Amino acid sequence: GVKQDSSTDAQTKQPNQPIAIKEKEQSFEEIQAVRRSLPAYKVRHDLMRHIRDNQITVVIGETGSGKTTQLAQFLYEDGFTANGRMIGCTQPRRVAAVSVAERVSKEMDTPIGVKVGYSIRFEDQTSDSTKIKFMTDGILLREAMIDPLLEKYSCIIMDEAHERSLNTDVLLGIFKTLLARRHDLKLVVTSATMNADKFSQFFGNAPQYFIPGKTFPVEIIYTNHPVPDYVESAVQKALDIHLSTPISNGDILIFMTGQEDIEATCSTIIERLTEIYTKKYGANYEEQLADVQVLPIYSSLPADVQGRIFQRQEQNVRKIVVATNIAETSLTVDGIKYVIDCGYSKLKVYNPKIGLDSLRITPISLANANQRSGRAGRTGPGIAYRLFTHDSAMEDMYPQAIPEIQRTNLANTLLQLKSLNINNLSKFPFIDPPPSQNLMTSLYDLWALEALDNFGHLTKLGRLMGAFPLQPFLSRVLISASQYGCTEEMLTIVSMLSVPSVFYRPKEREEESDQARSRFFIPESDHLTLLNVYAQWKANRYSAHWCNSRFLQFRSLQRAKDIREQLLYVIRKLNLPMASSGSDWAPIRKCLCTGYIQQTAKLSGLGKYVHLKTGMDLKVHPTSALFGLGDLPAYVVYHELLMTTKEYINVVTAVDPLWLMEYSGIFYHIKRRKEQSYQFGLNSSLNNDDQDHQDKIDLQIEKLRLNA
Ligand code: ADP
Ligand code: MG
């Protein structure tokens, strides 16, 4: 009891809580004036004529010219929804879909979710009267699975096509045949200035329309030496600019890779500035601090906080926006004069040789660097500071980014295509085909999950899996749960895995927050720890206050609750039995093994693991509940692989290797595992009490191998 109580007084300020700031709402008149000033508006009639005259139009324009916010409105005003159909506009990013929908509904002076709506995974803000629907490309792909002719739409805008997101690429392929079957459907593909020809060619030389726009020169300044810490360098640069130039010069946009370094950058800027101002102005420092507003933007940030990057500031306030590559082309922040570019972005990278997906911080391409720099030259000449050397730009960076389809696991996509009865993948019109090795390993993954049979056809299980908006291994776990009698629990776990971390770890209170987190630990499992957090939150009537005092992100939990309801709806629709395993947690851990069959690792030394399939060395993420055990468990399954300075596995659960054999279903793996274990040798310092157990398993594996 004492343990629990000591945390209640630790009131934490959540990062997402709005801070009172001076903001000016744009009036409707002002908004209309801005609209009219956009390059797209000026060519409106010409542009619409092109779209009316062609089934497919590729629209090209500088970022900020009004493609995203105006095109759908023009189509609407020209009567494209008069036949009862909608105008759909896809975005590769969730954040952009929401933000743009909100902007357009404001421009049209209607509440969001009615005439103008948006739909992103697990969040639908549309109604029967929706005419313009913004959505992620993933949502449209899902809709195509249910309604292959996309009958609801009269026109689709594939926005930000130059991003070449996986789902956009797949949709482009689907449109190739779809457009031949629906002559009345219009397709508008929009692109920033790069890559546009490729889209025209793909659609048999579809006409291009250029929106003329003015851009200003941007001076590019490289560092002389590689920077050891880009967060530190970015902070330094931002402070230099802020302290040495008049605020009226313009705002600062910093490109970082993700939530972690963005938050670090934001808080360090404020910290340093507080120090400097305290020295300079003494007690009045707080007043002075109001001359700058530091605004983070990344995908998991709540929408209302995101919206703040667009709000106009008082004259004498400087905005410092710290963003992921979302601000490269998807969102245009006006008034940026200085860009600071760390030169990296976080990418999902798939290594088909070893069949692993991971998140990696990777150098951006030159084309991306130029897009980033370009953000400084929208309203006047600007300066872009690149936190890398000219040499490394020339030598280490690709000229263009590699499209996602060529560097990602395709299991999910293939499952969707198979659900669309697209079975012959070699014939699918990919704009850039994925490497065949990617295709093969992804098919293998689906087969291993029993979603495909030996002929590569969708199984009954596979069809069920395709009904969930989840990664295949998660939908597999969820479906298995109905056999293991733990659907209630697994629903919670899967939902918790689908939201940004529920644990809040502010920089200056790391120890305290780690302690609060450890009170929820179920030592053998991070998955069960997540379940525990949710169960306690529920027991406390889903209270926000309860979260705040325990370093838990209320919003993430709320979202998990919401997602849980939606997944439950799918389960009901599929008639899968619901059950709870009560206080017995073994079925849950067993059940995890049915989906995480390739995400397994074995203890190989002090605090070290080795991946069962690939032999890769791994470490358990330091935040794991597993460290609460006296010794780390011999075998684990994990949720994700993070590659930062080390290879970490994150969200980990101890399992009995017998379960892996018994429940993974396909012992093909086990054969491989055996081979692998020969490869890296069982002689490693396996100081394991379980040696007996282990021998037994090896024996069984041997037997299976002989039988096979
Ligand atoms: P494009 O798609 O061609 O890059 P957009 O249509 O996104 O251009 O942007 C056009 C203009 O609308 C820009 O000046 C941008 O700053 C502004 N804008 C876009 N979204 C918002 C928003 N949520 N709030 C205020 N202004 C916005
Ligand atoms: Mg746009």
Q: What is the pLDDT of residue 309?
A: 76
The residue contributing the CA closest to ligand 1 atom 10 is 66
Q: Which helix (H) or strand (E) holds 177?
A: helix 166-181
Residue 625 structure tokens: 């509940």
Locate the ligand 1 atom nearest the alpha carbon of residue 61 and give its number: 3
Query: Beta 608-611 vs 600-605: how paired, if at all?
Result: antiparallel
Neighbours of 580 (CB within 10 A): 14
Give the span between the Cα atoms of 102 and 113, in whole angstroms.
Answer: 9
Question: Is the confidence at residue 701, as pLDDT, over 60?
Answer: no
Task: Please tell me which residue, 303 or 282, carries the higher pLDDT value.
Answer: 282
The residue contributing the CA closest to ligand 1 atom 5 is 66
Out of 75-89, 444-458, 635-649, give the one with best mean pLDDT. Answer: 75-89
Sorting pLDDT into bands at 50, 70 and 90, what band is 9?
Answer: very low
Strand, coil or helix: what is 43? coil
Residue 135 structure tokens: 């959505």
Q: What is the pLDDT of residue 476?
A: 96
pLDDT in tens, 104-126: 999 999 999 999 999 999 899 99
Residues in the chain: 708
Q: What is the pLDDT of residue 630?
A: 81
Task: Please tell me which residue, 648 or 658, carries the higher pLDDT value.
Answer: 648
CA of 332 to the centre of ligand 1 (A): 5
Task: Please tell me which residue, 691 or 482, carries the higher pLDDT value.
Answer: 482
CA of 191 to the centre of ligand 2 (A): 8
Helices 472-484/487-497 angle, 10° precision: 160
The response to whether residue 72 sits with its C-beta less than 6 Å from ligand 1 reads no
Out of 359-363, 630-634, 691-695, give the one with best mean pLDDT. Answer: 630-634
Query: Beta 318-323 vs 251-255: how paired, if at all?
Result: parallel
Locate the ligand 1 atom nearest the alpha carbon of residue 211 and give its number: 3
Q: Give yes or no for a contact between 218 and 377, defined as CB atoms under 8 angstroms apart.
A: yes
The residue contributing the CA closest to ligand 1 atom 25 is 310
| Dihedral pair phi/psi, residue 330, rounded to 5° | -65, -45
Q: Give yes or no for a contact between 365 and 401, defined as CB atoms under 8 angstroms apart.
A: yes
The response to whether residue 69 sits with its C-beta less than 6 Å from ligand 1 reads yes
The response to whether residue 99 sits with its C-beta less than 6 Å from ligand 1 reads yes
CA of 678 to the centre of ligand 1 (A): 58
The residue contributing the CA closest to ligand 1 atom 17 is 332
Question: Is the confidence at residue 457, as pLDDT, over 50?
Answer: yes
Give the span between the Cα atoms of 86 and 50, in whole angstroms.
Answer: 20
Q: What is the pLDDT of residue 159?
A: 96
Mean pLDDT of all residues in 323-334: 86
Which of 149-153, 168-172, 697-701 is predicted least confidently? 697-701
Which of 154-168, 287-301, 491-505, 515-529 is predicted least confidently? 287-301
Give the span between the Cα atoms of 619 and 199, in whole angstroms.
Answer: 43
Q: What is the pLDDT of residue 303?
A: 66
The response to whether residue 95 sits with its C-beta less than 6 Å from ligand 1 reads no
CA of 70 to the centre of ligand 1 (A): 9
Question: Is the confidence at residue 88, as pLDDT, over 60?
Answer: yes
Q: What is the pLDDT of residue 22?
A: 41
| pTM of the full structure | 0.84
Q: What is the pLDDT of residue 684?
A: 26
Question: Is the confidence at residue 390, as pLDDT, over 60?
Answer: yes
Query: Beta 56-61 vs 186-191: how paired, if at all?
Result: parallel
The response to whether residue 595 sits with its C-beta less than 6 Å from ligand 1 reads no
Mean pLDDT of all residues in 193-214: 90
What integer best gives the mean pLDDT of the chain? 86
Q: Is 13 exposed, middle or buried (0-12, 13-18, 19+ CB in 10 A)?
A: exposed
Question: Is the confidence at residue 312, as pLDDT, over 80?
Answer: no
Out of 5-14, 240-249, 346-355, 445-454, give the one with best mean pLDDT. Answer: 240-249
Query: DSSP for 87-148?
Result: EEEEESSHHHHHHHHHHHHHHTT--BTTTEEEEETTEEE--TT--EEEEEHHHHHHHHHH-T
Q: What percent of the chain has pLDDT over 70?
A: 89
Q: What percent of the chain has pLDDT over 90?
A: 65
Q: What is the pLDDT of residue 518?
A: 94
Locate the ligand 1 atom nearest the alpha carbon of residue 190 and give its number: 2
Q: Give yes or no for a contact between 662 and 652, defined as CB atoms under 8 angstroms apart.
A: no
**Ligand nearest the Cα atom of residue 103:** 1
Q: Give yes or no for a contact between 388 and 226, defined as CB atoms under 8 angstroms apart.
A: yes
**Ligand nearest the Cα atom of residue 162:** 2
The residue contributing the CA closest to ligand 1 atom 22 is 103
Mean pLDDT of all residues in 520-544: 96
The response to whether residue 310 sits with its C-beta less than 6 Å from ligand 1 reads yes
Q: What is the pLDDT of residue 230?
A: 95
Sorting pLDDT into bands at 50, 70 and 90, what band is 354?
Answer: low
pLDDT in tens, 676-689: 443 222 222 223 33
Q: Give yes or no for a contact between 526 and 626, defined as CB atoms under 8 angstroms apart.
A: yes
Sorting pLDDT into bands at 50, 70 and 90, what band is 26?
Answer: confident
Locate the ligand 1 atom nearest the alpha carbon of residue 70 and give its number: 6
Q: What is the pLDDT of residue 690?
A: 38
Q: How far is CA 668 from CA 447, 465, 673, in A?
A: 11, 21, 9
CA of 102 to the centre of ligand 1 (A): 11
pLDDT in tens, 214-229: 889 999 999 999 999 9
Sorting pLDDT into bands at 50, 70 and 90, what band is 479?
Answer: very high
Mean pLDDT of all residues in 133-139: 97
Task: Please tell me which residue, 232 or 300, carries the higher pLDDT value.
Answer: 232
Q: Give yes or no for a contact between 115 and 125, defined as CB atoms under 8 angstroms apart.
A: no
